[in-house]
Structure 1
Amino acid sequence: MSKLKRFIYKALVFIMLFPIALVVIGKFVDPPIWGWKIHRTLFPPSDYPSQSTHLWVELSAISKNAQLAVIASEDQTFPQHIGVDLNAILMVVKQSGSDGPNRGASTITQQTAKNVYLFPAHSFIRKGIELYFSVLMELIWGKSRILEVYLNVIEFGPGLYGIEAASQNYFAIPASRLSAQQAAQLVAVLPNPYKIKANPMSQYVYERSHWITKQMRQLGMGTLNQL
């Protein structure tokens, strides 16, 4: 029994400390591969290309329009929260069935944790792990690093990863030169990048990008100074 207790204790310590080590490394090392991309490679959708495209850039090389657009669209309380939106999580739990949560209510921090460290799944266990990583990232990385990693790993189309690759693919310009409208068009595809394209604009992208640019004006560039 004592050996079993020691084993359980060591296992719990490992479970708690291993994510901390991963997050500390992630603060300084740009991930060459991440959970979401690994899953796509191992279990590719029918329209997944034979080769993916990804170009990493620092946050300073990403247009402030793109930074603000993703906050305006995905998580307007990003500068203030601690990585999670507790009210949204409680609502998800309340509306979930026996198979786990049926929607995300995820902050940018949670989406980054999910993309980098985890795999797609709908379960309370995975959600709990995601929350743990999210809090660690807020404490260790800080907002600017979280936003930088998020903009570099999210998928903007089949096998098209990161804002730089997406900017060059859709507009033939670097991410540093994205206008507010172009940034809004790119961010508009995030709910379903396999069915929605930033350019040429569909009616949905036109309406969604118009809403995003309106939110950007209301938030203002001063939002980025809070990160």
Structure 2
Amino acid sequence: MLRKISRFLLKLFLWFIGLSILSVIIFRWVPVPVTPLMLSRYIEYWNEDNVGLSHDWVPIEEISENLQKAVIASEDDTFLTHNGFNFKAMQKAYEHNSKGKKIKGGSTISQQTAKNVFLWQGRSYVRKALEAYFTVLIEIFWSKERIMEVYLNSIEMGKGVYGAQAACQHWYHKNAKALTKREAAGIAAILPNPRKYNPVRSSSYIERRKGRIVRLMRYVKLEY
């Protein structure tokens, strides 16, 4: 009986490894149509008539370099050089959170992409372990440019709004290719909580973040 269970678990593990690698390879070229977060939010907003699911995939060539630079400056300034993890940022986040302060994350753009595309939301150890696993996979099989492309097409950028094109239409009534530096910084500034903050009618906190992001963008060189 124990041997049968062991064989079953081994087969299950091998199937998971195989399917996870296959899915990562497929999404190396195929647009991600929907993510677990989009589905969970859609169910959450089910009774809200004015909230749907706005998502319009576009290739990275149609996303302004200003937005690419803005999210790197705001979310992950070592994105182009790390291998998926920023251990220094993770250590700082751990020290911050261990003091009982408001929870602060240390996730890279690669980690956020792995979580958004392949996993559910949450802070369990199982989810974090799987996030690390998928982060390693996308760093192996995808280029940095592809990671950025998937990230900018999948991330939540407003209530019921996902991806750069949908966000730019929602907030600025223009295409993602046409974003100015200030507009791009506005979207990047709200990413910590895009359901709470507004890049257009901004609070003083978001305005300060915009200014800081614009200043940091000048140091970002997009060398994929």
Does 1:113 find its partner at 2:110? no
Equivalents in 2 of 1:198, 1:210: separation in Å?
Answer: 12
State the TM-score, normalized to the length of structure 2. 0.90
Counterpart position of 2:9 = 8
Per-residue deviation at 1:169?
Answer: 1.7
Q: Distance in 1 between matches of 2:56 and 2:132?
A: 28
CA RMSD of aligned residues (A): 2.1
The alignment partner of 1:70 has SS state of: helix
Cα 1:183/1:48, change in 2 over 3 Å:
farther
Using the TM superposition, name which of 32-41 and 49-58 deviates more.
49-58
Among all aligned residue pairs of Structure 1 and Structure 2, give the percentage whose two residues are the same amino acid: 39
Point out where structure 2 has 5 or more consecutive residues left out of the alignment.
none
CA shift in 2, pair 1:148/1:48, >3 Å: farther
Structure 1 residues 103, 180: closer, same or farther in 2, change over 3 A? same
Distance change in 2, residues 1:19/1:94 (3 Å): farther
Shift of 1:194: 1.2
1:5 Cα deviation from its structure 2 partner:
2.9
1:87-144 Cα deviation digits (max 9, x unpaired): 33355567778xxxx5431000111111111111111111010010011001111110
Q: In structure 2, what residue type is equivalent to 1:12? A: F
What's the offset of the Cα at 1:205?
A: 1.8
CA contact (8 A) 2:45 2:51 kept: no
By how many angstroms is 1:181 displaced?
Answer: 0.7
TM-score, scaled to structure 1: 0.89
Question: Does the CA contact (< 8 Å) of 2:189 and 2:210 recur in 1?
Answer: yes
Give me the whole-angstrom Cα distance separating, in 2, the residues matched to 1:10 and 1:42: 33
| 1:49 and 1:159 in contact (8 A); partners too | no
- Equivalent positions of 1:1-227 (< 5 A) are 1-44=2-45, 49-90=50-91, 103-217=104-218, 219-220=219-220, 223-225=221-223, 227=224
Q: Deviations over 1:43-101 (max 9, x none)?
A: 3398684422111110000111111001000000000111112233355567778xxxx
